[in-house]
Structure 1
């Protein structure tokens, strides 16, 4: 599988100061899937008459693209399949409106209380399942397919590869083992996944194998130009107004992160309401803020209607932000991680700054 990931588009919903009972602690070390791991998942799929495929809340291209790709493949095999994610309201982001197979998406209420087989995609923490959490924990079999280093392996079975650049890469291998050929709709879903989580092949997780994967998807008929335009180059005017306000609030702290610098900003819920911008539309804001040359670490706090803050952080290679976010109850990848806080903006930034300062940071150049 491809190399080390440094990007995550969704942020874990572990909450600062709010423990969730009944969930296992993260494992100290994650291993890549073995042949036995693959076989038990194949056996579970082969034995199931009904399969529920779920993405994390506020799904990104990797989560929803992976779920839909498997949904399309299993439908070809005559399996009764449903795709869902635990948001209310359940809205597919406009940037993902091109994904094939959306007729498979059902509301949370249509997912059985005790699914026969549920497979989660790109869900790094069980709490990222949102309204589907209880149904997932009640499933006869819960298979976790993911690539996040911080994944605690919460399912009854798992295919977790922290070296994969995207969950879509694991899904491609799963489909190969199922004997399902790549057609244009499946390949489009997988391309959305790998392109999203590699930042259009810009992040360090991208390897020659990643490009070989993308080449096979293009050969299956994927229109990469139209997908890229939809994912990154199309936004509402309201988003531009929210972006402008967020950049105006941005603060640079050169002394933070061991002198490597922190740039941060936040987006109040009122801004989204004022400009008619759904929360999923601002997930890419962190990729604008991280451009500041003076800062190794970037942080964006996004306020939800209940006043809680979802934090997205990025690093450029010298700081492990997954460790910093872990200190606040979150997690992710070394260079891209997140958390949720109820402490308010000043206290949350202070807590994140303290977590950065506690990390072993190499000396500045």
Structure 2
């Protein structure tokens, strides 16, 4: 942990465990107690988050990793993408020295903790390590979580997995320093749409206050997450908007590998397109199909509240939240969207 110093606005850079901690938890106390026992007994802890990690997945994992290292634990962290690359938008997160490629990840961890992943499938090539782990703690907030793991710290009412990660940190006797707070804040603002979504509760703002009290440069975090992109992104966005369609309350488009290759744009740069498409007044639901480097279509969906896109995506092998979910398709664009639209009509 970093020493207690002051930032440029004379705010403390460290918040001690006794300072306005969250109270109460829908997670049973027996589950928290068991998690603390498993962690206290472990010399080494293997951490993992879902493929193509967002701020909540990677931020929550690294925040807990900092705390475990401060306890003297050996920490290994990873995510299961074959092309193991931290998304450029998350390059500012501290603690990335904990990350190892999947090839260097323990094959059969004694204790493994996963973050923000509702199923084994979302852990990609780390799935075999998940299955072989002696003890597996699942930290997650997805309603679609299928109950994998030997112990679940799962709360679908939490706006972000980062909220559960913060509780775990406090329960382990840790404190919020600026590095940990940066990771948690990235998770919180990512999954609440910078506090725009309906999941933004008083508890979310209270947590944000605790994090900001460490002296975060919130404007710098916002710039990294939302206000930067390579020039090629604008070209690819233009191509996606040229082919956008509006069909009976659904607005959707797609981005191919060829689109990206023309400008050397990596797949991870496509995340923000759904947030532009979803603005359409005439649409209740938005979808963006993004072809990954292996040729599969990663489909992101958003709802304005009336339609449960998580249920639709679950029927197609994916999952997520009521108003934000996704799935993977190995069929063509038209075939994929025909199936999605059929389920949407039924919904």
* TM value normalised by structure 1: 0.87
In structure 1, the residue corresponding to 2:262 is in which secondary structure? helix
CA distance in 2, matches of 1:307, 1:107: 22
* Counterpart position of 1:38: 32
* Counterpart position of 1:161: 155
* Counterpart position of 1:305: 293
Matched, 1:117 2:111: yes
- Paired residues of 1:121 and 1:144 also in contact (CA < 8 A): yes
- 1:34-73 matched pairs, under 5 angstroms: 34-73=28-67
> Alignment partner for residue 184 of structure 2, among 165, 186, 190?
190
- Paired residues of 2:267 and 2:293 also in contact (CA < 8 A): no
Deviation at 1:88, TM superposition (A): 2.0
Deviation at 1:341, TM superposition (A): 1.0
The alignment of Structure 1 onto Structure 2 pairs a total of residues equal to 323
Deviation at 1:304, TM superposition (A): 2.2
* Counterpart position of 2:20: none
* Counterpart position of 2:144: 150
- Paired residues of 1:41 and 1:143 also in contact (CA < 8 A): yes
Q: What per-residue deviation string (whole Å, max 9, x for no partner) do you get for residues 157-205 of structure 1?
A: 1111000000000000001111101100001100000011111011000
- 1:1-365 matched pairs, under 5 angstroms: 32-253=26-247, 255=248, 261-359=249-347
Aligned residues: CA RMSD: 1.1
CA distance in 1, matches of 2:231, 2:346: 40
CA distance in 2, matches of 1:32, 1:355: 32
In structure 2, the residue corresponding to 1:275 is in which secondary structure? coil
Q: What per-residue deviation string (whole Å, max 9, x for no partner) do you get for residues 102-130 of structure 1?
A: 11111112211110111000011211111
Deviation at 1:305, TM superposition (A): 3.3
- Paired residues of 2:160 and 2:187 also in contact (CA < 8 A): yes
Deviation at 1:330, TM superposition (A): 1.4
- Paired residues of 2:49 and 2:115 also in contact (CA < 8 A): yes
* TM value normalised by structure 2: 0.91
Q: What per-residue deviation string (whole Å, max 9, x for no partner) do you get for residues 269-312 of structure 1?
A: 11111111111110121111000000010000111233321111
Q: Mind listing any 5+ residue stretches in structure 1 that lack a counterpart?
A: 1-30, 256-260, 360-365
Q: Mind listing any 5+ residue stretches in structure 2 that lack a counterpart?
A: 1-24
CA distance in 1, matches of 2:43, 2:135: 13
